[in-house]
Amino acid sequence: MKKEKKHEEEEKKKESTCQCEKEGKTCTCEKKDSSKEIDALQQTIQQLQEKLMYKEADFINYRKRKDEETANLLKFANQDLILDIINSVDNFERAIEAIKKDDEKDNQKILAGIDMIYQELKNTLKKYGVEEISAVDVPFDENVHHAVATGNDSSKEEGIVLEVMAKGYSLKGRIIRPAMVKVNQL
């Protein structure tokens, strides 16, 4: 058994020795193999570093995009509430106009109370960045106006807004409700 083990070990040595050792020279094969491995590892490291840089840049861009989205979400979070309040403001305006047409003295007290509530609502809207869109006697702009009727006034140019049927509003620069207008058409 011992002879067999010795024989196996000698065979393994013969298989593991390179051509240089068989010829009795100093072996350079291991040095060549290790330098190739080093080059391959350095190349892998460089590729991984480049990937890491791209991933870091992608993450920074993602974070910026998410921050902008969050800021816009917070900026316009009250839009639905404000639209509902604007509808109430419209009804107050109609009530005020109806009472002004009636000359009874009792109505003047009611008018004063309604007008105070109306002004308070308008101030609240303004406080939160809501602005009325100016519409009368300006050129029709499809971005801020919605034409619901046309009229014919020869004293004004074509395309000029003649009358506002319902006021338009913007919230912090974004149109949340276009003005419903009557446009001059010659």
CA-CA distance, 159 to 156, in Å (whole number)? 9
> Is there a single domain that holds both residue 157 and residue 122?
no
CA-CA distance, 114 to 86, in Å (whole number)? 15
The answer to whether position 5 is within a domain reads no
Q: Report the side by side order of strands in the sheet with 168-171.
A: 130-133, 168-171, 174-177
Blockwise average pLDDT, block size 10, the chain, 186 residues? 57 54 60 78 94 94 93 82 82 80 74 84 86 90 93 90 92 91 90
Helix (H, G, I), strand (E, B) or coil at 152: coil
The answer to whether position 137 is within a domain reads yes
Domain assignment of residue 161, given as a range = 131-186
CA-CA distance, 120 to 123, in Å (whole number)? 5
Rounded to two decimals, what is the model's pTM?
0.54
The answer to whether position 24 is within a domain reads no
**CATH for 141:** 2.30.22.10
The answer to whether position 179 is within a domain reads yes
130, 86 Cβ separation under 8 angstroms: yes
The answer to whether position 168 is within a domain reads yes
Nearest to 176 by CA among 87, 88, 83, 93: 83
The answer to whether position 35 is within a domain reads yes
92, 118 Cβ separation under 8 angstroms: yes
The answer to whether position 23 is within a domain reads no
pLDDT of residue 20: 59
Q: What residues have CB less than 8 Å from 158, skipping those under 6 apart?
A: 184, 185, 186
Number of domains forming the structure of the chain: 3
The answer to whether position 154 is within a domain reads yes
pLDDT of residue 162: 93
